[in-house]
């Protein structure tokens, strides 16, 4: 298996833990913006330490600051703001469903920006992913206002832009430094909306949120984008909600229905399809 696909699978698995950590953190009454602020701050501390000690470099760079500012605004601040607002005015299931319109946007943007081909297997895999996510999301209430639809679609679009901008960033820079600068600017945009204190009991869970889905998840994904097309990476990354529902079932005893299992099979099948077809096209 191509190394990049393994990294995407691992990163998506890390992202699948996000809901688990968030569930524990919300029990302490922490609001969404504050949770994201501390998540990013702790991730910056972990990432900065890793770059300084293990890579023996400064995590900061003075180059391409406008690019990183835009990246932080879109990939961190705008994405999470739109996501949590969509959850607030609709439901978690509806918001998750529209987040995973991202692969459709990624296929289009990959074609327009990177000249990635829209192949038959990509189209089939995309259809499998969209149906799979719909099934995994469970009983979604579609009786929402038009604003929720617009913000939900915008969430999926900003999520797809993360991969596109990362693809540009990792061309001439270490993936770790790209992530550090992106999170740094994202943190600056979050400051006006966040509180600066959290209950001590929530700190271990916020550290877990910073380490697993943020530091590990995004670092692995950025490395993968050096090898894998944006469109294919976005499709494979939809394994995240499958991991999330399995963890929720194991840890919290949440119901896992046959339709959700079918959705998971479709998503995994789509991931295998785009990988196998690429392997065959290269032989």
At residue 283, the pLDDT reads 54
Taking CA atoms, 36 is separated from 145, 258, 281, in Å, by 26, 33, 41
At residue 281, the pLDDT reads 64
Q: Is the pLDDT of residue 92 over 90?
A: no
Task: Please report where in the chains the tokens 């979604």 appear, as a residue.
Answer: 140
3-state DSSP call for residue 267? helix
1 confidence band (pLDDT: 50, 70, 90): low
**Contact yes or no for 22/244 (Cβ under 8 A):** no
Average pLDDT in the chain: 92
Average confidence (pLDDT) over 168-177: 95
280 confidence band (pLDDT: 50, 70, 90): low
Q: Is the pLDDT of residue 258 over 60?
A: yes
At residue 188, the pLDDT reads 96
Taking CA atoms, 28 is separated from 3, 20, 194, 201, 267, in Å, by 39, 14, 16, 8, 33
At residue 255, the pLDDT reads 84
**Contact yes or no for 21/205 (Cβ under 8 A):** yes
Q: Shortest CA distance to 215 belongs to which of 175, 171, 157, 169?
A: 175
Q: Is the pLDDT of residue 245 over 80?
A: yes
282 confidence band (pLDDT: 50, 70, 90): low
Contacts of 254 (CB under 8 A, 6+ apart): 245, 248
Average confidence (pLDDT) over 165-174: 95
Q: 278 vs 224, which has greater pLDDT? A: 224
How are the residues of the chain apportioned to helix, strand and coil, as percentages rounded to the nearest 5? 80, 0, 20
Task: List the Cα angle 32/36/40 in 5-degree steps.
Answer: 175
Over residues 37-69, the pLDDT tens digits come to 999 999 999 999 999 999 999 999 999 999 999
Q: Shortest CA distance to 115 belongs to which of 167, 50, 67, 68?
A: 167
Over residues 140-154, the pLDDT tens digits come to 777 888 899 999 999
């Amino acid at each position: 298996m191509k190394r990049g696909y393994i990294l995407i699978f691992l990163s998506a698995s890390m992202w699948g833990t996000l809901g688990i950590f968030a569930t524990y953190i919300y029990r302490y009454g922490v609001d969404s913006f504050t949770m994201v602020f501390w998540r990013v701050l702790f991730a910056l501390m972990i990432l900065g330490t890793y770059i300084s000690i293990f890579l023996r470099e400064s995590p900061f760079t003075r180059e391409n600051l406008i690019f990183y500012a835009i990246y932080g605004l879109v990939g961190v601040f705008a994405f999470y703001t739109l996501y949590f607002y969509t959850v607030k005015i609709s439901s978690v299931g509806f918001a998750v469903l529209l987040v995973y319109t991202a692969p459709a946007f990624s296929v289009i943007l990959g074609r327009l920006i990177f000249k990635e081909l829209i192949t038959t297997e990509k189209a089939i895999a995309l259809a499998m992913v969209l149906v799979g996510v719909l099934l995994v999301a469970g009983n979604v209430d579609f009786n929402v206002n038009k604003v929720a639809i617009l913000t939900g679609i915008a969430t999926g679009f900003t999520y797809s832009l993360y991969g596109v901008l990362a693809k540009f960033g990792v061309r001439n820079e270490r993936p770790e430094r790209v992530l550090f600068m992106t999170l740094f600017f994202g943190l600056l945009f979050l400051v006006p909306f966040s509180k600066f204190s959290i209950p001590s009991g929530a700190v271990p869970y916020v550290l877990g949120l910073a380490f697993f889905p943020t530091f590990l998840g995004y670092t692995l994904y950025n490395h993968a984008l050096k090898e894998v097309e944006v469109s294919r990476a976005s499709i494979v990354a939809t394994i995240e909600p499958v991991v999330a529902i399995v963890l929720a079932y194991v840890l919290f005893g949440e119901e896992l229905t046959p339709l959700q299992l079918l959705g998971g099979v479709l998503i995994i099948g789509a991931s295998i399809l785009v990988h196998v077809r690429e392997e065959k096209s290269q032989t």
